[in-house]
Amino acid sequence: MAEPPPGPGPTLAEMPLLVNGTRVDLARPTGDMIRAHPHLEEKAKLLRSQPAQIVEPKGLLYVQQREFAVTTPKDGSVSILGSDDATTCHIVVLRHTGSGATCLTHCDGSDTEAEVSLIMSSVKSFSNSTGCGRLEVHLVGGFNDDRQLSQKLTNQLLRAFDLQPEDVHLVTFCVTELNDREEQDIHFPIIYGIAVNVKTAEIFPATFPEKGPDEDLRSAHVLTGAPPWLPLQPPCVVTADQHLRRKDRTTPDWALFLGAFPTCGFLVGTR
């Protein structure tokens, strides 16, 4: 008897978003996920209880809305990635535990699926030579706003990571209802900004006295209302070491790159 034809290959659904090795059921409300995994709420509570640290410019790469930054522990110039001023926005940290490649992005819901694909590709490009480790994601930001923009963005991010062709492990979930406080019937976020230490993987609430370099130039595409997160095609996506080989050696180890459009600026660090 002839053997049956081979079954279909792996699908996107077979590479899910996981919590403690269990796939997140996106058909259910996020409150059900929190109740099913109480350690997420405990970790969010611990993060909320920490006072915001003031991060000075030395060793910092600040990420603005609709930007993302990625680097590794080998970077000699950047040790901290950070962002703040997030209300309904979410700040996402994606890290590969093997290579230590770390990405931080400030999401506003403009094109979440495309943004997640970009940061996934960036972290993987810094981890190609690493044979072990896993991808871990940390989500922070939002609150119980009247228009439910935060909840919409939370759902978008969970769905986008669940569609990726690699397993992604949800480690920190301090968003929307888990980042909400109420005063006189008015809701506010608890954490507005975070930073990640690229060398130790520590994530902590943070504020930033300086938000450079070139803060005004980098925020111009948001202020003009231009469409964000346009696809980047080579040679727009280059690493800082490639950039250094084309320019003089006085260039810092990180650099701001603008693609074919002024709205697709992002930050990268050295390998």
Angle between helices 149-162 and 112-125 (to 10 degrees): 50
pLDDT score, position 255: 39
**Does residue 265 have a pLDDT over 90?**
no
Helix H or strand E segment including 71 = strand 68-71
Q: To the nearest whole number, what is the mean pLDDT of the chain?
A: 81
**Does residue 6 have a pLDDT over 60?**
no
Among the residue ranges 19-23, 61-65, 78-82, 245-249, the one predicted with the least confidence is 245-249
**Does residue 245 have a pLDDT over 80?**
no
**86 within 8 A of 193, measured Cβ to Cβ:** yes
Q: What is the pLDDT of residues 93-110, one digit of tens each?
A: 999 999 999 999 999 998
Residue 122: count other Cβ atoms within 10 Å of its Cβ.
23
Q: What is the pLDDT of residues 71-85, one digit of tens each?
A: 999 999 899 999 999
> Using CA atoms, how far apart are residues 68 and 91, in angstroms rounded to an integer?
10
Q: What is the pLDDT of residues 115-147, one digit of tens each?
A: 999 999 999 999 887 779 999 999 999 999 999
Q: Model's pTM, two decimal places?
A: 0.81
Percent of the chain with pLDDT over 70: 73
Helix H or strand E segment including 121 = helix 112-125
Which residue from 117, 119, 134 is spatially nearest to 81, judged by alpha carbons? 119
pLDDT score, position 233: 28
Percent of the chain with pLDDT over 90: 65
* Range ranked top by mean pLDDT from 3-7, 65-69, 223-227, 263-267: 65-69
Helix H or strand E segment including 242 = helix 240-246
| 257 or 188, higher pLDDT | 188
Look-up: residue for tokens 């930054």?
A: 69
